[in-house]
Amino acid sequence: MTLDVEKIRSDFPILNRKIGEAPLVYLDNAATSQKPCQVIEALTDYYSRYNANVHRGVHTMSVEATEAFEAARTKVAKFIGAPNPESVIWTRNISEAINLVAYSWGDANLSAGDEIVATVMEHHSDIVPWQQLALRTGAELKLIPRTEGGRLDMEAASSMISPRTKIVAAVHMSSVLGTINDVKALGKLAHDNGALILVDAAQSAPHMPVNVEDLDCDFLGFSAHKMLGPTGIGVLYGKRELLEAMPPWMFGGDMILTVSYEDASWNDLPYKFEAGTPNIADAIATGAAVDYLSELGMENVRAHEVDLTAYALECFAELEQVKIMGPLDNADRGGIISFTHDTLHPHDLGTALDRMGIAIRTGHHCAMPLVRSYDVVAAARASFYIYNTPSEVDALIAGIKETERYFLK
């Protein structure tokens, strides 16, 4: 099924706004996505009709809130193919999800002489927690290199993942290069060596089908705000037997089973990892975002972005002074195009495009080591989603050409 993009766009009120006199062209979806009316209404509905705490009351509104909160967890579990909702932990974002694993599982299972293997493509959220875990435990952090073409060096990966490896952490889709990594193959390498794998699905879960059982990943995380949901909430999936064995890393209300003045015992999954009043409204709204994407069909979401990215890559080829970071073809690539200009600084380009109503990202994209490996300190980035159109790609290309004429005349 081809997405009806005009119908989709009508669900996003923010797309009607202007920046100055120019209509908004929003191409910063890798940073955060826009929200449809259905998600906004889910938030409003909770706060206006049944705002109450969950798991703590027998009154009508508490029961309604609890049912909606847990229904959203079930929707997320189905969305990623998790075998049960108890394996889905609500977090603030994927950063918290990764830190949860690094502290809870990592501190309990790593020691001097062990190895953590990540990739050079990781977002800061999936490299700094492992750096700190290595410092705390004496383990060694190793990084799988990239090829000149912007893909992961799988030959190097097969030699680096060894019986000393305890966990492999890998981004599914690079937020800089758009590269879709073969995390299933990395997982097999990890498992063949007795290690676990954690998958950063922040950029993949919103844009393509993701099934944790097919990937056979041990942990997987993502943030709702990149997939039409609200900010401030994310998900950690973990295999149940691993989560059962892991100690809690935060303590407080609802994560306890019993408490005395001397000691405490812990609640069942998933609540063992959800201390205190949770982000109820945003969890419910995340369920609405999952409903929206599920109705579209993630295969259709992916197909739309494949076509749009292919068109964009063709258009970028017209720009003689622009260099694309990452794969230049559309195979195993997401809708993210980071680029540099021979003459224009990315921040100048981003500012000029903003005055035309075109929103892109500039900087190191929270992947400073990766961007600097291209011998630049910053890059511009355009990233696409379900509501973007070929005419918006045309506007971006025309905007870059107009900026060249202004600065280089």
Query: Tokens standing for 276?
Result: 């205190």
DSSP 8-state symbol, 247: P
Residue 106 DSSP label: I
What number of other Cβ atoms are within 10 A of residue 94's Cβ?
25
**Which residue of the set 37, 217, 315, 366 is catalytic?**
366
Is residue 366 annotated as part of the catalytic site, yes or no? yes
CA distance 130 to 219: 14
- 29: its two tokens: 């979806």
Q: In angstroms, rounded to a whole number, what is the distance separating the alpha carbons of residues 381 and 372?
A: 15
How far is 306 from 344, CA to CA, in rounded Å?
28
Q: Report the SS3 class of residue 76.
A: helix
Residue 195 CA: distances (Å) to CA of 13, 114, 115: 46, 11, 10
91 within 8 A of 97, measured Cβ to Cβ: yes
Query: Nearest Cα to 258, choosing from 270, 267, 250?
Result: 267
Which own/partner pairs from 6-9 qualify as long-range (CB within 8 Å, at least 24 positions apart)? 8/36, 8/296, 8/386, 8/387, 9/387
Residue whose C-alpha is closest to residue 31's, from 171, 147, 282, 202? 202
The residue behind tokens 């890998």 is 170
Q: Are 325 and 163 in contact (CB under 8 A)?
A: no
Angle at Cα 247 formed by Cα 241 and Cα 248, nearest 5°?
Answer: 115
Cα separation of the two ends of the chain: 46
Phi, psi of 146, deg, nearest 5: -105, 160
Dihedral, 208, 82, 194, 118 alpha carbons, nearest 10: 40
Q: Dmax of the chain from CA atoms?
A: 75
Active centre residues (catalytic): 366
